Amino acid sequence: MFLVPLALTLVLALMSLLPRVSDNPILTRSFWGAAAVLLVWQVLLFLRVRGASEGRSFSTVLRPQHYLQAVMHVSVFTYWGFYWRPVYEFFWLLVAQLVFAYAFDMLLAWTRRENYALGFGPFPIIFSTNLFLWFRDDWFYLQFLMLAVGFLGKEFVRWQRDGKRVHIFNPSAFSLGLFSLVLIATNTTGLTWGQEIASTLTLAPYIYSVLFLIGLIVMYFFSITLVAASAAIMLFALSGVYGAVTGVPYFVDSEIPSAVFLGLHLLITDPSTSPRTPVGKSIFGGLYGLGVFGLYALLGALGVPTFYDKLLCVPLLNLSVQRIDRLVRAFERSPRASRWRFEWAAQRLNLAHMAVWIVFFAAMTATGRTDGRHTGDSLPFWQQACAEERRNACERLIQLESTYCGDNSGWACNELGSHYVEGRITETDLELATAYFSRACEVRFQAGCVNVLNPESPSRALPRVIDLRLLLREGGQNLLEMSESDLYARACGHGWTFACAEAPRSL
């Protein structure tokens, strides 16, 4: 039996010869280190059991929740990667993690007991982890460590639930939450692709609709509709109330960030670590939505990347599932609850919940709250909101212009430099202003070159066509192929008044 983990270990070591791995010496050593740990573990375990009466064995356990979730994860990777190529370039590193996970899980099981349940269990753990966080190549050994922590948490952190000894935490959420805390505490988010992962899902067109359809499949087979739908409805509702009160969107350019929408379908919906009662599932999902909403504001106020919002609250919610179910069951036994009880079969009730969710999502889509243009996509909107001193508007204007400057928009770089000279919406910083003006000049934005020579009185200019191709992308791909007439028409729709006059001329 030890030949199986030995073969997996050798495969992992041999994968270091792949060009994707061997081109980076540090990444290569990460593979060797992971393989060495597995090999030493096997030797020690073999020596321990060699003279013992009991052996080690396999049993095949194929659970639909594992292989169907894996198919859904692969669907997301495939669609997303078509529009953001680093996903496809990550393929061999993802395969290596699966190889490592199977070997690690086998050895962990055999260290604790005689039998290993062979199935698709590692797939959803690896895939759901990698949908939210990758370490960069120079730090990839931490990716192997993060996976190991997830499996260790699944094996050792357990409780008694419904008469069975089961794991408390969603394994991927446990390791993601723990490593997120460490990355935040050490200010080392830059070691990961976390920010890029969270922001590039929208490069894939109609990503909300795609995730919605994928989610329906999971909902149908595993009756997790109430968890995902309650989380989404809570976030839509809170975002809507915030926008109505403040006049600006809560999540900058969406009602629910696409990565959060992914999380509420494929991260928090593990049937093993969520409530069993229908009302409990609704409470669980609603608390996730509330937690994400609150963490987004808290992390932003602390200067921490906000993409951690969807990861940090899941382990805490996992800890609450038994208490939630106990409270719900206690309420259901009361006379007051009897009048609200529906005696429907579970599958039929789930279909009813799915129907409500479909209608709700269709309504949100029809009102422009999922795919398509969002109020927060418009820079003129944020300029006006900042001028009116609406809540956080100036900070978000700076944030958006910084993003576009990073994409080499000369106009955005020049605007940032002007803000740092004038000191009206941010603190004065002449050194930083000069750096932004220089960057604008490097991409041939004429006003930026003028400002390099005379930064005290900033010169401004309208965005060029090349700038509009970046500024109007609405979270998607740059508009390099769009005709100028269509570009000006879109700019007019975003509130750029000069473009409304230019659109007819460019026909």
CB 288 within 8 A of CB 264: yes
| Radius of gyration, alpha carbons of the chain | 26
Name the pLDDT band for 292 (thresholds 50, 70, 90): very high
What is the model's pLDDT at position 230?
96
For the chain, the average pLDDT equals: 92
Predicted local confidence at residue 334, as pLDDT: 73
What's the start-to-end Cα distance of the chain, in Å?
Answer: 72
Task: Give the three-state DSSP class for 159.
Answer: strand
> Using CA atoms, how far apart are residues 397 and 260, in angstroms rounded to an integer?
22
Q: Could you tell me if 167 and 273 are in contact, meaning their C-beta atoms sit under 8 angstroms apart?
A: yes
Q: What is the pLDDT of residues 255-287, one digit of tens each?
A: 999 999 999 999 998 888 999 889 999 999 999
Token couple for 470: 């970046």
Least confident of 182-196, 306-320, 324-338: 324-338
The CA distance from 182 to 352, in Å, is 42
pLDDT at 131: 97
* Cβ atoms within 10 Å of 444's Cβ, excluding its own: 11
* pLDDT for residue 337: 59
Residue 78 has pLDDT above 80, yes or no: yes
**Residue 372: predicted pLDDT:** 81
Q: What is the DSSP string of 114-166?
A: SEEEESSTHHHHHHHHHTT--B-GGGTHHHHHHHHHHHHHHHHSEEEETTEEE
pTM higher than the cut 0.75: yes
Longest dimension (CA), the chain: 87
Q: Which residue has the higher pLDDT, 504 or 213?
A: 213
Sign of the Cα pseudo-torsion (320, 323, 326, 328, in order): negative
Q: Examine the pLDDT at 53 and tell me if it is beyond 90.
A: no
Q: At what angle do helices 25-49 and 91-112 cross, to 10 degrees?
A: 20
The full DSSP string for 204-236 is: STTHHHHHHHHHHHHHHHH--HHHHHHHHHHHH
Query: Helix, strand, coil shares of the chain as percentages rounded to 5?
Result: 70, 5, 25
Span of 48-62, 183-197, 358-372, 465-479 with lowest mean pLDDT:
48-62
At 272 the pLDDT is 87
| Domain boundaries, given as residue ranges, for the chain | 1-64+87-169, 193-372, 375-505
* 356-363, long-range: CB < 8 A, 24+ apart: 356/229, 357/219, 357/225, 357/228, 357/229, 357/232, 358/216, 360/229, 360/232, 360/233, 361/212, 361/232
Q: Judging by DSSP bridges, how do beta strands 115-118 and 57-60 pair with one another? A: parallel
The pLDDT tens digits for 93-123 are: 999 999 999 999 999 999 988 789 899 999 9
Q: What's residue 91's pLDDT?
A: 97
DSSP state of 23: T
DSSP strand pairing (158-161 vs 164-167): antiparallel
Dist. CA 175–CA 101, nearest whole Å: 14
Four-way CATH pick for 375-505: 3.40.30, 1.25.40, 1.10.3470, 1.10.30: 1.25.40
- Say how many C-beta atoms besides its own lie within 10 A of residue 19's C-beta: 7
- Give the residue-averaged pLDDT of 59-76: 92
Q: How confident is the model at residue 47 (pLDDT cuts 50, 70, 90)?
A: confident
Q: Residue 274: what are its φ and ψ, rounded to 5°?
A: -125, 165
The pLDDT-based confidence of 33 (bands split at 50, 70, 90) is very high
For range 435-461, the mean pLDDT: 94
The conformation of residue 61, written as its DSSP 8-state character, comes to: -
Q: For the segment 210-230, what is each residue's pLDDT rounded down to a tens digit? A: 999 999 999 999 889 999 999
Q: Is the pLDDT of residue 338 over 70?
A: no
Q: Give CA–CA dist 421/85, Å, rounded.
A: 38
Highest mean pLDDT among 45-59, 183-197, 321-335, 357-371: 183-197
Instruction: Give CA–CA dist 70/129, Å, rounded.
Output: 12
Q: What is the pLDDT of residue 368?
A: 84
Tokens of 361: 């999502």
